[in-house]
């Protein structure tokens, strides 16, 4: 009898074959003070293996912390530095535009009504938009702020769409664009003496393209100072930037080289001033440099698309790490 119980064991000392020694109901070996350790078999907190009738415990812990990869860090700081650079550039453009408006006293009561046509307003608008947009992306990248990054990528997508639509419209409405350019050129010529910015832009166009007026040098008749009915010394004249050689002896700027040029016939005037208009000059320049213009447009658009892709990739990484943190 004693041998039977020794070999078979007492019922309360028998091991239940349906449970192994790692059953949640049994004490675990190596437990300090005989305390039970709960084992979560469903979530795979740790697993057991059996080798030659012996149970071997092989814990496999779930990794709860996921570190960023080097690519995540690269994209984060690349986006941050690029947006920081463009933010500074936007602030410089904004400051230049504001300086131009203030120096010309465009905010004065007698000039505030015409501020909408001031060329410096374009610089102010572009600088403000660029600074705010890039600052949003800059802060969103360094702070890993999903809301700011979504706002940044959303505005970029809107800008890309608008630029593509403008490019399509410009290609399909070339004749109308030429009409708008002509009216803009004539408006700049009309305010040539009154607005320093319009004067600077007009002089640069006429000097670089070697042209005079919108379609012909006689277009300067639209300016009240160069009109032939004007009582001033500039009557029937053109600006010095229309002259073929505005320098006396190649050194001194001759501001009076275009006086009375409108009274001359084309054969006589061609030795003194440029006869062709600037609208045709602009069209010829675009045709000759259309490859360069297209390359610049593709690069600008490509940079914006790349920024959208980088922001999207960074957003996915941030959201994934937040879910698994």
User: What is the predicted pLDDT for the residue at 40?
Assistant: 43
The Cα–Cα gap between 306 and 325 comes to: 28
Instruction: Dig out the tokens for 63 from the structure.
Output: 């990794």
User: What is the predicted pLDDT for the residue at 55?
Assistant: 47
The Cα–Cα gap between 167 and 222 comes to: 32
Reported as a pLDDT band with limits 50, 70 and 90, residue 39 is: very low
222 found inside a domain: no
40 found inside a domain: yes
207-231 average pLDDT score: 91
pLDDT surpasses 60 at 15: no
**Residue 46 near residue 22 (C-beta atoms within 8 A):** no
| Residues 48 and 75 placed together within one structural domain of the fold | no
| Residues 78 and 146 placed together within one structural domain of the fold | yes
Instruction: Dig out the tokens for 173 from the structure.
Output: 């409405």
Q: C-alpha angle 274/280/285, rounded to 5°?
A: 100
| Residues 16 and 110 placed together within one structural domain of the fold | no
| Residues 165 and 33 placed together within one structural domain of the fold | no
User: What is the predicted pLDDT for the residue at 233?
Assistant: 87
203-219 average pLDDT score: 92
The Cα–Cα gap between 295 and 156 comes to: 20
Least confident piece of the model among 18-22, 101-105, 243-247, 276-280: 18-22
pLDDT surpasses 50 at 45: no
108 found inside a domain: yes
| Residues 87 and 53 placed together within one structural domain of the fold | no
Paired residues of 273 in beta bridges: 243
| Residues 315 and 167 placed together within one structural domain of the fold | yes
User: What is the predicted pLDDT for the residue at 67?
Assistant: 64
| Residues 95 and 148 placed together within one structural domain of the fold | yes
| Residues 33 and 100 placed together within one structural domain of the fold | no
User: What is the predicted pLDDT for the residue at 108?
Assistant: 63
320 found inside a domain: yes
Specify the DSSP class assigned to residue 109: T
Q: What is the mean pLDDT of the chain?
A: 79
90 found inside a domain: yes
45-67 average pLDDT score: 47
107 found inside a domain: yes
| Residues 80 and 158 placed together within one structural domain of the fold | yes
Reported as a pLDDT band with limits 50, 70 and 90, residue 220 is: very high
Paired residues of 47 in beta bridges: 58
pLDDT surpasses 60 at 267: yes
* CA dihedral (25, 28, 32, 33) positive or negative: positive
Number of domains in the chain: 2
pLDDT tens for each residue of 110-140 = 556 656 667 788 889 999 999 999 999 999 9
Q: C-alpha angle 241/219/100, rounded to 5°?
A: 55
Flag whether the pTM goes above 0.75: no
Which ranges constitute the DSSP H helices of 104-173? 120-143, 146-172
| Residues 101 and 164 placed together within one structural domain of the fold | yes
* CA dihedral (68, 72, 73, 76) positive or negative: negative
Reported as a pLDDT band with limits 50, 70 and 90, residue 1 is: very low
203 found inside a domain: no
289-297 average pLDDT score: 90
102 found inside a domain: yes
| Residues 44 and 136 placed together within one structural domain of the fold | no
pLDDT tens for each residue of 149-194 = 999 999 999 999 999 999 899 888 888 888 999 999 999 999 898 8
pLDDT surpasses 60 at 50: no
| Residues 29 and 157 placed together within one structural domain of the fold | no
45-61 average pLDDT score: 46
* Strand 54-58 versus strand 47-51 pairing type: antiparallel
Q: Which domain holds residue 294?
A: 71-175+288-324
52-66 average pLDDT score: 48
For the ranges 77-86, 172-181, 251-260, the maximum mean pLDDT occurs at: 77-86
User: Contacts from 165-169 at CB under 8 Å and sequence distance 24+?
Assistant: 167/297
Backbone angles phi, psi at 48, to 5 degrees: -125, 155
């Amino acid at each position: 009898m004693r041998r039977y119980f020794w070999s078979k064991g007492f019922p309360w000392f028998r091991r239940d074959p349906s449970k192994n020694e790692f059953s949640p109901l049994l004490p675990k070996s190596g437990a300090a003070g005989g305390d039970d350790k709960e084992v979560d078999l469903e979530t795979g907190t740790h697993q057991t293996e059996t080798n030659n009738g012996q149970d071997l415990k092989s814990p496999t812990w779930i990794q709860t912390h996921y570190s960023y990869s080097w690519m995540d860090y690269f994209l984060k700081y690349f986006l941050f530095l690029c947006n920081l650079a463009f933010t500074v550039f936007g602030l410089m453009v904004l400051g230049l535009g504001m300086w131009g408006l203030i120096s010309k006293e465009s905010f004065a009561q007698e000039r505030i009504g015409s501020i909408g046509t001031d060329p410096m307003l374009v610089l102010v608008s572009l600088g403000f938009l660029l600074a705010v947009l890039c600052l949003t992306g800059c802060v969103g990248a360094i702070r890993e702020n999903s809301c700011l990054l979504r706002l940044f990528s959303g505005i970029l997508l809107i800008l890309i769409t608008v630029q593509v639509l403008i490019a399509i419209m410009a290609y399909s409405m070339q004749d109308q664009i030429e009409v708008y350019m002509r009216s803009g050129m004539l408006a700049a010529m009309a305010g040539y003496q009154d607005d320093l910015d319009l004067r600077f832009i007009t002089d640069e166009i006429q000097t670089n393209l070697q042209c005079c007026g919108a379609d012909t040098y006689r277009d300067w008749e639209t300016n009240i100072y160069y009109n032939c009915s004007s009582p001033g010394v500039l009557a029937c004249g053109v600006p010095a930037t229309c002259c073929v050689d505005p320098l006396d002896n190649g050194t001194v700027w001759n501001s009076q080289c275009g006086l009375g040029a409108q009274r001359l016939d084309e054969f006589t005037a061609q030795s003194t001033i440029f006869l062709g208009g600037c609208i045709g000059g602009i069209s010829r320049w675009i045709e000759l440099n259309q490859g360069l213009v297209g390359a610049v447009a593709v690069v600008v658009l490509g940079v914006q698309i790349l920024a959208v892709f980088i922001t999207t990739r960074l957003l996915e990484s941030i959201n994934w790490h937040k879910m698994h943190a």
